[in-house]
Structure 1
Amino acid sequence: MILNRYLTREIGRPFAVILGVLCVLFGGYSVASILSDAVSGLLPAVTIMELTGLKLLIALDVLIPISLYFAVLLSFGRLYGDSEFTAMAALSVRPAQIARVVLSLAGVIALAVATLSLVARPWAYRTAHTITWQGATSLNVNAMQAGTFYTSEDGERAIFLTHRAGPGTPAQDVFVRRKLADHTEVIFARLAAPLQQTTADGKNQVYLTDAHVYEIDPVNPQNDQILNAQGLILDPESAPGAAPAYNPITANSTDLIWSSVPRDIAELQWRLSTPISTLLLALLAVPLSRTRPRQGKYAKFGQAILVYAGYYLLCTTARTWVEHGMISQFPGIWWAPALLGLVLLLAMTAPHLFSRRHKISTSNTPLSLGAP
């Protein structure tokens, strides 16, 4: 029990640090990728934070396995470098005992990854898509500034303010272009002021002074109309368009089980493979971390990065092949984890085979965990 707690603590500390650093880096990248929408007034700051949190939740089923993989590599590399594993071997601690500690810890983390991948990840995708869709059909008019074209993400609306003192104040020489069901509407107004009261559904309305409305029919030009109004109330947030198309990444895992569509099969297999990858990568880090005493805990990092990059590339390639029907449901993407399992088997059995030959040719010395 003392050994188990010690090894778990040695793995847990770098795991928490690495996962925290990766979350901060990914969160910063996510904020930067959507910050332009907040600056241009399309999305409020609260929505930006919601989308960032959802994207981080989506990425956890990838960030957690890689964090555990490098945590085991880092902690065991230090134990090898400080000859602590050599001391454990002198106390009759066998490699199987150490592997069981890693397997137990990785098993608990793999269950959490499975929950994230099968339940939390599709929910986060659905919520993020809903927020993005709503953002594509709305504009935060109170935050707009002069001299910038504001377009919705779906391209259905564009607004330009020529002069404005600041957010929430009246604007001069306003241009609005909206694509409606059967025609395009172009509005030019001398003055536009946001109304203080919003509608029942929380939308902001704008009062236009000296407005000129041009309704353009691209099919039948004879139906074009021009309307001049001294005063006009405009809702720049037009009715939402069609709901987002079906995407398997937003579907419930239970619904994907009964589907025979290649895209659904690839998505389900990807979700199921993440906990398996967590276990395999954590166990593979054990033989990869073997170093000579005082060699340094970072000695195998380059090799470990290449192994992970190759495995991730194989998984994504296999997923793409299944999505496009290039590979059937079986083997599907399972050949990639199977290949990693084969590499793990060879990495863990090769030192034992070498030790048997060494024992036959020399003496019956016990296996040293510090051997490279």
Structure 2
Amino acid sequence: MIVFRYLSREVLVTLSAVSAVLLVIIMSGRFIKYLAQAAQGMLDPGVLFLIMGYRLPGFLQLILPLGLFLGILLAYGRLYLESEMTVLSATGMSQQRLLGMTLMPAALIAVLVAWLSLSLAPQGVTQVSQIINQQDALTEFDTLVPGRFQNLRDGSRVTYTEQLSDDRSKLAGVFISEKRLSQDKSKDRGISVLVAEKGRQEVQADGNRYLILENGYRYDGNPGQADYRAIKYDTYGVLLPKPEVSQEVTEREAIPTSELIGSTGLRERAELQWRLSLPLLVFIVTLMAVPLSRVNPRQGRFLKLLPAILLYMAYLTILIAARGALEKGKLPIGLGLWPVHGLFLLIGLGLMFWEPLRLKRASRRAEVARG
């Protein structure tokens, strides 16, 4: 029991450290993407951390299996390097018994991954989709940030305001540049530039919103040509797009697992098999990691790390490719993703029993040579 607690602690501590590093790297990249969208006025900066929180289960369901795999390699590699595994082997610790002890914390991680993939991750994707739909329903006025030029309407409009009131109802120092397109949007008719001392938002009785600009100029023309038309105005109204909130969530990752079970569609059935594959992935990578962690102290603990990572990436890549083939109907849905798991299960069993067999044969040859 003492040895079990010691080994479990080593694996779980290393797993936590590796997973934390991977999580920071992945979330940083995704956060930069959302931050760029917020800078362009496509997202409200106030919802960025909320979106990242809802995406966290989806990240963890993929990070934890890799973290466990690397945790076993690094933790056991250190024990082999410091000859602690040699001492345990001398007391009767076989490779199979070591695997049995390692499968106990692996089972805990598998249960956590199953909870994430079957329940929390779909709920998180649903919440993110709803937030994105609500952000799409915001008017251009709602996403303005004072002191910053923002691309709106897919880059066809650039808006700037020097000051914005706390209730977002009044502006000061307004600049708007918008491309003028033909009715079929196939021809560029130049640009229109609006500048105003101040502006305000006005909601009509029919629900339409207008940005009312006061004391300014409008310039129409083509860049590089001297035929600009300047119009001075006291009051000018700009129609803001009417928000349309869509509550529909179409991403298959957001479909609850209970609905996937009874579904007959290829994409839905492939998604269900993917969610079930992630907990199974935990046990198979554990089977592969235990023999791969065995290193010679003279060779260093990182000798097998790169080949092991390549093996894991091959496993995950083939699994993702098989998922795509299932969605397109290129693989029988009844066959599913299970042949991929079976292949790497055989690889793990081969790694587990190859080294003991090799050592036993070498011992026999040495005995024959001495005899």
Q: Could you tell me the TM-score, scaled by structure 2's length?
A: 0.80
Counterpart in the other structure of 1:143: 145
Q: Could you report, residue by residue, the CA deviation over 1:102-160 in whole angstroms, capped at 9, with x for unpaired residues?
A: 101100100000000011111111111121222223233441546x45325xx5x9643
Aligned 8 A contact 1:30 1:55 in 2: no
- What is the RMSD of the two structures over their aligned residues, measured on CA atoms? 3.4
Q: Which amino acid aligns with 2:339?
A: W
1:314-339 CA distances to partner (integer Å, 9 max, x unpaired)? 01110010010001112112211111
Residue 8 (structure 2) pairs with residue 8 (structure 1): yes
Distance in structure 1 (CA, Å) of the matches to 2:128 and 2:45: 15
The sequence identity of aligned pairs, in percent, is 26
Q: Could you tell me whether the CA contact under 8 Å between 2:162 and 2:174 is conserved in 1? A: no
Greater shift in the superposed pair: 170-179 or 295-304: 170-179
5 Å-filtered alignment, 1:92-103, equals: 92-103=92-103
> How is 1:1-372 mapped onto 2 (pairs within 5 angstroms)?
1-138=1-138, 139=140, 140-145=142-147, 148=149, 150-152=151-153, 155=154, 159-161=157-159, 164-168=161-165, 169-172=171-174, 174=176, 191=196, 192-194=198-200, 206-209=211-214, 236=240, 238-240=242-244, 242=246, 244=248, 246-358=250-362, 360-361=364-365
- Runs of 5+ in structure 1 lacking a partner? 214-228, 364-372
User: Counterpart amino acid of 1:95?
Assistant: Q
Q: Distance in 1 between matches of 2:53 and 2:299?
A: 40
Q: Is the CA contact (8 Å cut-off) linking 2:12 and 2:105 kept in structure 1?
A: no
Partner of 1:219: none
Which of 1 and 2 has higher RCO (CA within 8 Å, sep 6+)?
1
Find the aligned partners of 2:280 and 2:122 in 1 and give their Cα distance.
19
CA contact (8 A) 1:37 1:43 kept: yes
Task: Tell me by how many angstroms 1:298 deviates.
Answer: 1.3
CA-to-aligned-CA distance 1:39-98 (integer Å, 9 cap, x gap): 233323221112222333211111000000000000111111111111111112222221
Following the alignment from structure 2 to structure 1, what is the Cα–Cα distance between the partners of residues 363 and 262? Answer: 54
Aligned partners of 1:119 and 1:232: how far apart in 2?
51
Q: How many residues align?
A: 336
Change (3 A) 1:172 1:88: closer
Deviations 1:212-250 (A, max 9, x none): 99xxxxxxxxxxxxxxx9657767362226555622111
Q: How many angstroms does 1:210 deviate by?
A: 7.1
> In the superposition, relative to structure 1, how do residues 18 and 237 fare at CA in structure 2: closer, same or farther (>3 Å)?
farther
**What residue identity is the alignment partner of 1:286?**
V
Structure-2 change in CA distance of 1:83 and 1:141 (3 Å): closer
User: How many Å apart are 1:285 and its aligned residue?
Assistant: 0.6
Letter in 1 for 2:158: F
Counterpart contact for 1:189–1:209, Cα < 8 Å = no
* Stretch of structure 1 that moved more, 85-94 or 39-48: 39-48
SS at match of 2:240: coil
Task: Give the 3 Å change call, closer, same or farther, for CA 237–134 of structure 1 in structure 2.
Answer: farther
Structure 2 unaligned segments of length 5 or more: list them: 166-170, 186-190, 219-232
Question: C-alpha offsets along residues 277-309 of structure 1, whole Å, 9 cap, x if unaligned?
Answer: 011112211101111124222111111111011
